[in-house]
Structure 1
Amino acid sequence: MDTPEAGTPSPDNEIESLTEFDAAVAAGSLAGRRVQSVDLADRSAALLATDTSGAVFLGCRMEPAAAEKVRAEGAFVFPPVPGLPFDPYRGLLYTPDALYDGLAQGGYEATPDAHAYRWFCRTRSDGDVFSSMLRALHDDAVSDALDELLVGTRVVGVMGGHVTPRGSASYAAAARLGRTLARSGLTVATGGGPGAMEAANLGAYAAPHPDAMLDKACELLGTVPSFTPSVTDWAMAAFAVREQWPRGGGSVAIPTWFYGHEPPNPFAGHIAKYFANALREDGLLARSTAGVIFLPGAAGTVQEIFDSTTPNYYGSRGEPSPMVLVGRDHWTRELPAWPLLRALAAGRPMESRIALVDTVEEAPEALARLSSAQGAADG
């Protein structure tokens, strides 16, 4: 299992690490607590000696005597599910190292990410209620961990096509955008895949480093432009960049095994990977509280534009959040989403929260301007 990182603590009643468990035991009680995916096999003495009435243990490995005792006290025990390539009760988000464990030794097909995708492909349409329940438990746990991570942060979503190749001018521009946004104090969130999504996460990763680092990283990555034909080579190139420039800046990726043929990019510090694409799409946009920047893309990006438009149109999430579309020709001629968006916004509060710009370089200023309008309305 992943080890927890320093950062936002769990809610008071949730225990997601052995450190938190030991602290609760030292305080004298586990009553009513929720212990989530913590290996307690060597904590039998503590479990036997501590009040666990009303506690809930989700996927915690225990010795039989300890499990019998806590059940007798009225605790609920949801045991680990054997044979799964993922933990449905996980208390933390994924990391690139966790999803790509074993990459160097056995290639991508040997990684936990690939194993989970194969399990999903086997079970997605078999009608087995147990499999669908496990997927739902996992995705709810991921949402909970994501919300805990993002408490108090200003999140900007960056959406764009997965086909943007490394080494291209568009890729480099998206990477510079991610760096600019991260340096302004925003948390960059993407769909977590390759292409423009990877570029934005790479830019956030590069934010603490000198400017020349990003140029060099883009050059190195350009030797493996795409995840086809080899995900292994594509991912190894990214990890080589991370190894050469460690301690990069943080960002969030929210991919899905629904599109599992697209691997998650390794540049986000935290990866909230879902089985259900609908939860992933809505969750990504809903958490982009500082607005969303839409780079040129195809059907998926168009869907995200109007998934974001609907709550802004109806005000179902409060005041509309900023939306910046990048690429005037793309969004007015090739895929004319902008005329429809502008027509929908006319006369509504969201009218002052949308913008169309020609270039990626203009997007941060446009976002800041729309954010000022949003802040004035909120005030």
Structure 2
Amino acid sequence: MEQIRRERRQGQAVVRGDLVPSSTHDERLLARQGPSDWVHMDPWRVLRIQAEFVEGFGQLAELPPAVTVFGSARTGPDSPDYEMGRALGRTLAEAGYAVITGGGPGVMESANLGAKDVEGAISVGLGIELPFEQRMNDYVDLGIEFRYFFVRKTMFVKYSCGFIALPGGFGTLDELFEALTLVQTGKVTSFPVVLMGSEFWGGLLEWIKGTLLGTGKIADHDLDLIRVTDDPDEAVRIIVEADLARSQQRGEELEAAAAQTAEPQ
């Protein structure tokens, strides 16, 4: 049987076999141990990080309103979660949103595929360098590979007007709780965070209510940051209603600012 060669995307490059390094750029950036010459190399890393930000901003600046969909890369095409992701991607695209995912397989692929079911829709994948192979799925119109997680996360937040999380693992939970923290602390303009799959998320929600809220670690109104549904139409409706509310609020703020400017001094 033919041996499968190791492969990794590194920014715009692809390396295979023995050229695949044993660690990722993120790991080397965050490592504190080792020879002191790493200290003198960090300024050069800043230039690479800056380049990733510039590339991401440049590629995504012209996107229409977009929604990010998170979910497991390990979900098979015959899974109900895969079908839910495809239905969600299609419904988002029909509502006029670009669909952003992590660009990988599983639920990410299904949401990108759903967007491709709609003519003229835009399907985006924001990939990440990992120690194991994970190529960009075939249903991405615009794909960007990042070396650093924090740069990629910035792109998810900056260019999305809502997050929808389908069943997933550590990566999905990481993105979910980071989004909730940013909204809770006012670091980003409030946008909806929707969980799809009430059975999957039920245990986590019970723990949040019983343990976090029950011991005073969060406030009652923090629970309002999370919406749960099994219906793609309802998930998109939550996004649309939040968009309309933000637009109305912006309009009112502009009117108030204009009125204040017009008042005689």
Same fold (TM over 0.5): yes
Q: Which has the higher strand share?
A: 2
Aligned 8 A contact 1:282 1:307 in 2: no
Alpha-carbon separation, structure 2, partners of 1:282 and 1:341: 30
Distance change in 2, residues 1:253/1:204 (3 Å): same
* Equivalent residue runs for 1:21-170 within 5 Å: 109=7, 112-115=13-16, 118-119=20-21, 121=23, 124-125=27-28, 129=38, 136-151=46-61, 153-170=64-81
1:165 offset after TM fit, Å?
0.7
CA drift at 1:141? 2.0
Is residue 346 of structure 1 aligned with residue 220 of structure 2?
Answer: yes
Q: Deviations over 1:185-236 (max 9, x none)?
A: 212111121111111112222221xxxxxxxxxxxxxxxxxxxxxxxxxxxx
Q: How many Å separate the matches in 1 of 2:107 and 2:197? A: 14
Query: Which of 1 and 2 has greater Rg?
Result: 1
Q: Give the conservation status (yes or no) of the 8 Å contact 2:8–2:129.
A: no
Between stretches 189-198 and 276-285, larger displacement belongs to 276-285
Structure 1 residue 174 and structure 2 residue 85: aligned? Answer: yes
Number of equivalenced pairs: 231
Tell whether 2:141 aligns with 1:269: yes
- Which fold has the larger relative contact order, with Cα–Cα distance below 8 Å and residues 6 or more apart in sequence? 2
Write the deviation string for residues 257-282 of structure 1: whole angstroms up to 9, x where unpaired.
Answer: 13543332232122221111233234
From 161, 164, 178, the equivalent of 1:307 is: 178
Alignment map for 1:231-246 (pairs within 5 Å): none
SS of 1:255's partner is strand
5+ residue gaps, structure 2, are 29-33, 252-265
Counterpart residue number, 1:332: 202
> What are the residue-to-residue correspondences of 1:218-233 with 2, within 5 Å?
none
**Deviations along 1:37-62, whole A, 9 cap, x unmatched?**
xxxxxxxxxxxxxxxxxxxxxxxxxx
SS at match of 1:272: strand
CA distance in 1, matches of 2:125, 2:90: 15
- The one of 124, 145, 151 equivalent to 1:279 is 151
CA drift at 1:309: 1.0
Q: 1:180 to 1:251 in 2, by over 3 A?
A: same
Identify the residue that residue 7 of structure 1 maps to in structure 2. none
Which of 158, 183, 191 does residue 321 from structure 1 map onto? Answer: 191
Separation of aligned partners in 2, 1:296 and 1:154 = 24
Q: 1:122 to 1:146 in 2, by over 3 A?
A: closer
After TM superposition, give the deviation of residue 326 of structure 1 in Å.
1.0
Counterpart CA distance in 2 for 1:191 and 1:207 is: 20
- Deviation sequence 1:154-208 (CA, Å, 0-9, x none): 1211011111111322212211211221222212111121111111112222221
- Where do 1:10-21 residues align within 5 Å? none
Q: CA deviation at 1:131?
A: 7.0
Identity percentage of aligned residues: 27
1:366 aligns with: 238
Quickly say closer, same or farther: Cα 1:338–1:144, change in 2 above 3 A: farther
Instruction: In structure 1, list runs of 5 or more residues that go unmatched.
Output: 1-105, 209-247
What is the one-letter code of the residue matched to 1:113? V
SS of the equivalent of 2:130 reads helix
